[in-house]
Amino acid sequence: MWNAVCQQLSEVLHQPFEIVKKSEIPGHDYERRFKISNGAVNYLVKVARVEALERFECEAGNRALLIRDSDFLIADSILIGTTMEFAYHVIEWVTTEPQQDNWFECGVLLGKMHSRNEQKMYGLESDNYLHTQIQPNRWHKKWDTFYAEERIGWQLQLLAEQGVEFVEIDAFVETIRAMLPHQVEPSLLHGDFWRGNIGFHESKPVLFKPACYYGDREIDLATSELFGPLPDAFYQGYESIAPLHHGYEQRKALYQLYPILHQANMYAGNYLVQAKNKIYEILK
């Protein structure tokens, strides 16, 4: 496989590329990650079974969206390829330094990205992936319909296919729709915005692993609080650009349900308990 990577990199770079150093980075069970270098330039290489080709292509498209429509530092996709067994994704290498964080600026940049509002519908031109799970993005004119059907209904259906049913799906989808009466401007979302997908390079905020679509900007904010809130400076920076609307605290539980259901589908265990509890909290 590495011969194929080097050959394709050489073609893209218009000069020979030979790996002189390669080290594996601890990652996820669904893909392996490597740092490769020719002695002058480093790249990140993600490797998975060949079936991951579409997922890598979606990731590259999402990175391109963020590069185009945000001021975050985003590692660009260099190339995607396959062998008989594997798919690989070569990405720019960005070194992050935790000690050089700038959370206020991170909030400012997210607020600016959310404020562009250049799209008039909710969704994306194609489905993409949240981790290894398909994320449906059919265009909708109404936010309540998009979120209730394409996010909550979808996740509940996936759970039902595994024999897990917390509620009657159609009825709960209608409940979610009824609880989201406000019509919001569609914002480009990162889609998986939490501390683990944020870094800093020379104090410049960096985003990783996008799962983009156009939706309510509060989605990214709610997700940022789910696994432990970010530093206060982040939220101060965000609200200096894009103050939150009245009622966010009430909607937050609705918006945190989606990533919790996703985790329940992916990993089961305690996430199923969390999902059940969050649903009952919403239904109170």
CATH of the domain at 173: 3.90.1200.10
**Total domains present in the chain:** 2
**Banded model confidence at residue 28, pLDDT cuts 50, 70, 90:** confident
Report the DSSP beta bridge partners of residue 128. Answer: 135
- Across the chain, what does the average pLDDT equal? 96
115 in the same domain as 12: no
In whole angstroms, give the CA distance from residue 142 to residue 144: 6
Average pLDDT of the residues in 259-263: 98
Q: Which one of 29, 71, 76, 192 is the catalytic residue?
A: 192
Last residue of a domain, one of 39, 64, 92: 92
In whole angstroms, give the CA distance from residue 276 to residue 282: 10
Percentage, residues of the chain above pLDDT 70 = 100
**pLDDT value, residue 200:** 96
262 in the same domain as 136: yes
Average pLDDT of the residues in 45-53: 97
Query: How many Cβ atoms sit within 10 Å of the Cβ of residue 215?
Result: 26
191 in the same domain as 68: no
120 in the same domain as 83: no
180 in the same domain as 112: yes
214 in the same domain as 261: yes
256 in the same domain as 198: yes
**Banded model confidence at residue 97, pLDDT cuts 50, 70, 90:** confident
- Whether the pLDDT of residue 249 is over 80: the answer is yes
Decide if 192 is catalytic.
yes
Q: List pLDDT tens digits, range 104-129.
A: 999 999 999 999 988 999 999 999 99
Average pLDDT of the residues in 193-221: 97
Average pLDDT of the residues in 147-154: 98
**pLDDT value, residue 121:** 97
**pLDDT value, residue 7:** 95
- Whether the pLDDT of residue 99 is over 80: the answer is no
* Among 56-70, 90-104, 152-166, 212-226, the least confident range: 90-104
CATH classification at residue 47: 3.30.200.20
Return the residue matching tokens 């996740």: 155
114 in the same domain as 73: no
**pLDDT value, residue 183:** 79
**pLDDT value, residue 227:** 87
The domain in which residue 84 lies consists of 2-92
**Banded model confidence at residue 27, pLDDT cuts 50, 70, 90:** confident
**pLDDT value, residue 25:** 94
**pLDDT value, residue 228:** 87
